[in-house]
Amino acid sequence: MKTRLPMLLATLLALPACTKSDPNLLNGYVEADYVRVAAPVAGRLVKRDVMRGDEITAGAPLFSLNTDDELAARNEAAARVATAEARLADLLKGDRTEELAAKDASLRQAQAALDLSSAELKRVEPLVRSKALAAADLDQARSNEHRDRARVAELSAQIVVAKLGGRPDAIEAAQSEVKAARDQLAGAEWRLKEKTQTAPAAARVEDTLYEAGEWIPAGTPVVTLLPPANVKIRFYVPEAQLARLSKGASVAIHMDGAAPVQATVSFISSQAEYTPPVIYSRETREKLVFLCEARPQAADAPKLHPGQPVEVHLH
């Protein structure tokens, strides 16, 4: 009987403590979704603009890689665009002014010859009818007039074609060449731009992974950022209390040595954890817990640190 007395006293002393426990108070911890900034192209790290612990704004420069090859490729692509555009413009505008002027002069000369041969034909026709000239003279006059008229028509057509520019198939080919050159230039400019990375959002620099002078493979993170919106609290809700919680609900986050902050539930898992492999009963249901996440306001996020234990109070 004496041996059971200490155990009984301990049980009685523990009862008040159990009754004082708050069922609405759950344990949790702070977690974060980090943003790891990398360049999609490889290069040597020339400059890193941030240090670990810096608070930066959106668009702030983070780091730069060497750009020698990308600058040369961009300049080459720009020269190719200029050449292709000049060739297309030349095809569209036709002959130069000087060439058109020479064709116009030839046309005027041919027109003068036609006028002369036409006048000669009119003079010969009545003389042949009066037997003053032979029929051969009339044939010669008509031949000269037809020749000069054909020459005028030929030169007129040449001027029209010269003003039209290149053939449709040649123009289409030149347009395709211009498009290809512009696409190449856009790709070169994109690669050059990606050699310098900036912050996608206001954030705290959590880590820097490389120093200036080191070679950075494509897609390898150089700086790790933590935007305030990416801070979250993870906690587990017992099955019995799950019905009281919904996405968008407000919870209070309590931390050691600091005033509580409010957070909004952003995720409730649809899968239970630590589920015993038995048929559910009233006893086993009490062991089921569901992972939940809540996100604080951006102004309160700096008060929370990843890995920090907290208590979550369900309102």
Which three-class secondary structure state does DSSP give residue 49? coil
What CA–CA distance (Å, rounded) separates 44 from 64?
A: 9
Taken in order 44, 50, 51, 57, is the CA torsion positive or negative?
negative
What CA–CA distance (Å, rounded) separates 66 from 192?
A: 9
Q: Identify whether 132 is part of a domain.
A: yes
Residue 303 and residue 255 in contact, taking contact as beta carbons nearer than 8 Å:
yes
Among 60, 45, 310, residue whose Cα is nearest residue 204: 60
Q: Are residues 176 and 102 in the same domain?
A: yes
What CA–CA distance (Å, rounded) separates 4 from 9?
A: 9
Residues in the chain: 315
Q: Are residues 130 and 185 in the same domain?
A: yes
What CA–CA distance (Å, rounded) separates 137 from 120?
A: 10
Looking at mean pLDDT, say which of 54-58, 107-111, 135-139 comes out highest.
Answer: 54-58
Q: Are residues 200 and 59 in the same domain?
A: yes
Contacts of 274 (CB under 8 A, 6+ apart): 287, 288, 289
Output the six-digit token pair for 139: 């044939």
pLDDT of 194 strictly over 90: yes
Q: Are residues 172 and 89 in the same domain?
A: yes
Q: Are residues 88 and 138 in the same domain?
A: yes
What CA–CA distance (Å, rounded) separates 234 from 251?
A: 12
**Final residue of a structural domain among 139, 171, 190:** 190
Phi, psi of 23, rounded to the nearest 5 degrees: -70, -15
Q: Are residues 143 and 98 in the same domain?
A: yes
Q: Identify whether 5 is part of a domain.
A: no
Residue 27 and residue 308 in contact, taking contact as beta carbons nearer than 8 Å:
no
Q: Identify whether 10 is part of a domain.
A: no
The amino acid that residue 175 corresponds to is Q
Q: Identify whether 211 is part of a domain.
A: yes
131 Ramachandran zone, left/alpha/beta (phi>0; psi -120 to 50) = left
Grade residue 199 by pLDDT with cuts at 50, 70 and 90: very high
What CA–CA distance (Å, rounded) separates 248 from 263?
A: 9
* Residue range 204-222, pLDDT digits in tens: 999 999 999 999 999 999 9
Q: Are residues 48 and 110 in the same domain?
A: no
Residue 135 and residue 127 in contact, taking contact as beta carbons nearer than 8 Å:
no
Q: Are residues 253 and 290 in the same domain?
A: yes
Q: Are residues 57 and 108 in the same domain?
A: no
Among 229, 197, 175, 233, residue whose Cα is nearest residue 49: 197
Which CATH number characterizes residue 204's domain? Answer: 2.40.50.100
Radius of gyration of the CA atoms of the chain, in A: 45
Higher-scoring residue by pLDDT: 195, 25: 195
Q: Are residues 101 and 118 in the same domain?
A: yes
Q: Are residues 237 and 285 in the same domain?
A: yes
Q: Identify whether 180 is part of a domain.
A: yes
Output the six-digit token pair for 84: 């292709």
Count of domains observed in the chain: 3
Find the helix or strand (DSSP H, E) in which 27 lies: strand 25-32
Range of the domain at 211: 36-66+196-226
Higher-scoring residue by pLDDT: 171, 176: 176
Q: Mean pLDDT over residues 129-145, rounded?
A: 85
**Final residue of a structural domain among 179, 208, 226:** 226
Which CATH number characterizes residue 242's domain? Answer: 2.40.30.170
Q: Are residues 277 and 298 in the same domain?
A: yes
Higher-scoring residue by pLDDT: 127, 268: 268
